[in-house]
Structure 1
Amino acid sequence: MKLSEIDVNELSKEQITKILFGNEQDNNKQGDCIFVYGGKGIERVHKAVDLYNQERAKYILFTGGLGYGKYTYPLSFKMRDSALELGVPEENILVEDRSNHVKEGAIGEA
């Protein structure tokens, strides 16, 4: 499933789950951007940087805000900082720092 195929007005929990954890096979094609949903797990940053280093996309987009005030530093900034430490140039990193959950991050609704 591609994000472009989703009706954002009808985005369901099942669609979000399929996007995040679906069993779709990697087609090994290049894309425009590696999209990383917010979260504390460093493994998602490592995977994004690995894909970036394979030249699968020129940009990495990290999403994630303050978790409704739960954090003092946006999750997307933490992931960006980790990617910078792993050698990704700053000009190839995009951040969205206002979303508090996956739907907001996916559609830029925050």
Structure 2
Amino acid sequence: MMFSEVNLDNLSRQQITSFMFDSIGDDGKDGECILVFGAKTIHRVQKAARLYHNKRAPKILVSGSAARWGKEEESEAIWMKNHLLNFGVPEEDILLELEAANTTENVIASLMVLQRSFGLNHINRLLIVSSPYHMKRCHLTLTTYMPDWISYTLCPDDRESGQGDNWWKNDRENARVMKELHSMQKYVQKGILEDLPFQ
């Protein structure tokens, strides 16, 4: 059965956990750049800084506009950059994408930044940072819109709640997972994201 056909309301916790979290994890491989999907959450910034300092990639690309926060607010990318600087990441190693207002735009707008900074033909692997519940959609969006020669190492942030072994124990994280699951299916049904097998 394909994901677009699944009745999400009939899924068990085990089925949801398997689909959303089982294929998500750091495989230990290095890449050319760390791509951080936009949000004003310190967990993602801490994860990206740790990967950088561990020499997993020489650059960090932070993506996200101020669209969700209001015109007078600081963009997600600038917010993350400022925190990365506080974590000791040099400014010259931080790339900015300032236009994206959602996950699809994070990927599409980051393509241009990556092209201008590296040349897409020189990128073999990206390290991807986002919240655990968001990683499945990030990966699906990347495989839908990015060149097919690029591989991904998936590096969810290290928050205590919201991981694959405990997401249902926290009401906020439980709600995020369920909302994400329904959003992903809606985008697949609309053709925004590629469909995928559901097992």
> Any idea what SS the aligned residue of 2:96 has?
strand
Size of the aligned set, in residue pairs, is 90
- The aligned residue for residue 25 of structure 1 is 25
- Provide the residue aligned with 2:57 in structure 1: 57
Q: Residue 5 of structure 1 aligns with which residue?
A: none
Change (3 A) 1:68 1:39: closer
Structure 1 residues 79 and 69, CA gap change in structure 2 (3 angstroms): closer
1:37-73: CA deviation from partner (whole Å, max 9, x where unpaired)? 0001110000000000110000000000012562521
Runs of 4+ residues over 6 Å off in structure 1: none
- Per residue, is there more helix in 1 or in 2? 2
Q: Tell me the equivalent position of 1:74.
A: 75
Aligned to 1:47: 47
Distance 1:26 1:90, change over 3 A: same
**What's the TM-score, normalizing by structure 1?**
0.74
Q: Find the aligned partners of 1:68 and 1:29 in 2 and give their Cα distance.
A: 33
Unaligned runs of 5+ in 1: 1-20
SS of the residue aligned with 1:78? helix
Structure 1 CA distance, aligned partners of 2:31 and 2:93? Answer: 14
2:102 maps to what in 1? 101
Q: Distance in 1 between matches of 2:97 and 2:66?
A: 11
Which runs of 5 or more residues in structure 2 are unaligned?
1-19, 111-199
User: Which amino acid is 2:24 matched to?
Assistant: E
User: Share of identical aligned residues, percent?
Assistant: 36
Give the CA deviation at 1:24. Answer: 2.8
SS at the partner of 2:60? strand
Given the two structures, how large is their TM-score scaled by the length of structure 2? 0.42
Shift of 1:29: 1.1
- The structure with the largest alpha-carbon Rg is 2
Secondary structure of the equivalent of 1:27? Answer: coil
Task: Kindly state the Cα deviation for residue 25 of structure 1 after the two structures are TM-superposed.
Answer: 3.2
Query: 2: CA distance between counterparts of 1:77 and 1:38?
Result: 10
The whole-number CA distance in structure 2 between the counterparts of 1:95 and 1:56 is 19
Question: Which residue identity is paired with 1:25?
Answer: G
